[in-house]
A and B are shown apart, each in its own frame.
Chain A
Amino acid sequence: MSDRTQDPAQDPHLPVPQEDQDASTTVEAMGVREGMFGVRGTGDTSGYGGLVKTTLFPGASRRPYGGWFDEVADALEARLGATDLDGAIERVVIDRGEITFHVRAQDLPFVAQMFRDDEALRFELCSGVSGVHYVGDTDRELHAVYHLLSMTHNRRVRLEVGVPDADPHIPSIVSIYPTNDWHERETYDMFGIVFDGHPALTRILMPDDWPGHPQRKDYPLGGIPVEYKGGSIPPPDQRRSYN
Chain B
Amino acid sequence: MASSTDETPTDYYASGSETSDGRVFTVTGQDWDSITAGLGGLDDVEERVVVNMGPQHPSTHGVLRLILELEGETVTVARCGIGYLHTGIEKNMEYRSWVQGVTFCTRMDYLAPFFNEAAYVLSVERLLGIEGDIPEKASVMRVLLMELNRISSHLVCIATGGMEIGALTVMTIGFRERELVLDLFELITGLRMNHAFFRPGGVAQDLPPGALDEIRGFVALMKKRLPEYADLCNANPIFKGRLVDVGHLDLAGCLALGLTGPVLRSTGYPWDLRKTQPYCGYETYDFDVQTWDTADSYGRFRVRLAEMWESLKIIEQAADRLARLEGGPVMVADKKIAWPSQLAIGSDGMGNSLDHIRHIMGESMEALIHHFKLVTEGFRVPPGQAYVPIESPRGELGAHVVSDGGTRPLRAHFRDPSFTNLQATSVMSEGGMVADVIVAIASIDPVMGGVDR
A66-104 contacts to B, CB under 8 A, are: 95-98, 100
User: What 1/0 mask marks residues of chain A from 180 to 207 whose CB sits below 8 Å from any chain B CB?
Assistant: 1111001000000000000000011111
Q: Are B83 and A95 in contact (CB under 8 A)?
A: no
User: What 1/0 mask marks residues of chain A from 38 to 73 whose CB sits below 8 Å from any chain B CB?
Assistant: 000000000000000101111000000000000000
Q: Are B383 and A236 in contact (CB under 8 A)?
A: no
A202-243 contacts to B, CB under 8 A, are: 203-207, 214-215, 221, 236-237, 241-243
Q: Are A242 and B452 in contact (CB under 8 A)?
A: no
Task: Knowing A127-B415, A128-B415 are in contact, say whether A182-B385 is a contact too (CB < 8 A).
Answer: no
Indicate whether B406 reaches chain A with its CB closer than 8 angstroms: yes
Q: Are B258 and A58 in contact (CB under 8 A)?
A: no
Contacts of B385 in A (CB 8 A): 95, 98, 100, 132, 145, 158
Q: Are A127 and B398 in contact (CB under 8 A)?
A: yes
Q: Which residue of chain A has the shortest Cβ distance to B96 in the bound complex?
A: A236
Indicate whether B141 reaches chain A with its CB closer than 8 angstroms: no
Indicate whether A169 reaches chain B with its CB closer than 8 angstroms: no
Q: Would you give the shortest CB distance from B248 to chain A, in whole angstroms? A: 17
Choice from B91, B383, B389, B422 contacting A214 with Cβ under 8 Å? B91
Indicate whether A154 reaches chain B with its CB closer than 8 angstroms: yes
Contacts of B82 in A (CB 8 A): 204-205
CA separation between A182 and B88, bound complex, in Å?
Answer: 17
Contacts of A214 in B (CB 8 A): 88, 91
Indicate whether A147 reaches chain B with its CB closer than 8 angstroms: yes
B68-96 contacts to A, CB under 8 A, are: 82-83, 86, 88, 90-92, 94-96
Choice from A31, A96, A133 contacting B384 with Cβ under 8 Å? A96
Indicate whether B449 reaches chain A with its CB closer than 8 angstroms: no
Indicate whether B341 reaches chain A with its CB closer than 8 angstroms: no
Indicate whether B420 reaches chain A with its CB closer than 8 angstroms: yes
Indicate whether B202 reaches chain A with its CB closer than 8 angstroms: no
User: What 1/0 mask marks residues of chain B from 80 to 122 whose CB sits below 8 Å from any chain A CB?
Assistant: 0011001010111011100000000000000000000000000
Q: Are A206 and B420 in contact (CB under 8 A)?
A: no
Choice from A127, A133, A181, A203 contacting B411 with Cβ under 8 Å? A133
Q: Which residue of chain B has the shortest Cβ distance to A136 in the bound complex?
A: B404
- Count residues of B near A (Cβ-Cβ below 8 Å): 50
Task: Knowing A96-B126, A154-B277 are in contact, say whether A130-B413 is a contact too (CB < 8 A).
Answer: yes
Indicate whether A30 reaches chain B with its CB closer than 8 angstroms: yes
CA separation between A80 and B371, bound complex, in Å?
Answer: 53
Indicate whether A6 reaches chain B with its CB closer than 8 angstroms: no
Indicate whether B410 reaches chain A with its CB closer than 8 angstroms: yes
Contacts of B400 in A (CB 8 A): 130, 145, 147
Q: Are B126 and A205 in contact (CB under 8 A)?
A: no
Contacts of B301 in A (CB 8 A): none
Indicate whether A178 reaches chain B with its CB closer than 8 angstroms: yes
CA separation between A181 and B422, bound complex, in Å?
Answer: 11
Indicate whether B2 reaches chain A with its CB closer than 8 angstroms: no
Q: Would you give the shortest CB distance from A185 to chain B, in whole angstroms? A: 10
Choice from A100, A179, A180, A221 contacting B95 with Cβ under 8 Å? A221
Q: Would you give the shortest CB distance from B417 to chain A, in whole angstroms? A: 10
Q: Are A55 and B404 in contact (CB under 8 A)?
A: yes
Q: Are A215 and B90 in contact (CB under 8 A)?
A: yes
Indicate whether A124 reaches chain B with its CB closer than 8 angstroms: yes
B394-426 contacts to A, CB under 8 A, are: 396, 398, 400, 402, 404-408, 410-411, 413, 415, 419-420, 422-423
Given A127-B415, A186-B419, A214-B88, 18 new contacts (CB under 8 A): A55-B404, A95-B384, A127-B389, A128-B420, A130-B411, A130-B413, A132-B410, A145-B400, A147-B387, A147-B389, A147-B400, A178-B256, A178-B257, A179-B420, A205-B82, A215-B91, A215-B411, A221-B91
Q: Mark B residues whose CB is within 8 Å of A.
A: 82-83, 86, 88, 90-92, 94-96, 126-127, 129, 255-260, 271, 276-277, 376-378, 383-387, 389, 396, 398, 400, 402, 404-408, 410-411, 413, 415, 419-420, 422-423, 452-453
Can you pick out 27 interface pairs between chain A and chain B where the beta carbons lie within 8 Å of each other? A30-B383, A30-B404, A33-B405, A58-B383, A95-B384, A96-B126, A97-B126, A98-B387, A126-B258, A145-B385, A147-B400, A147-B415, A149-B396, A151-B255, A156-B389, A177-B258, A178-B258, A182-B419, A182-B423, A186-B419, A215-B91, A215-B411, A221-B91, A221-B92, A236-B96, A237-B95, A242-B378
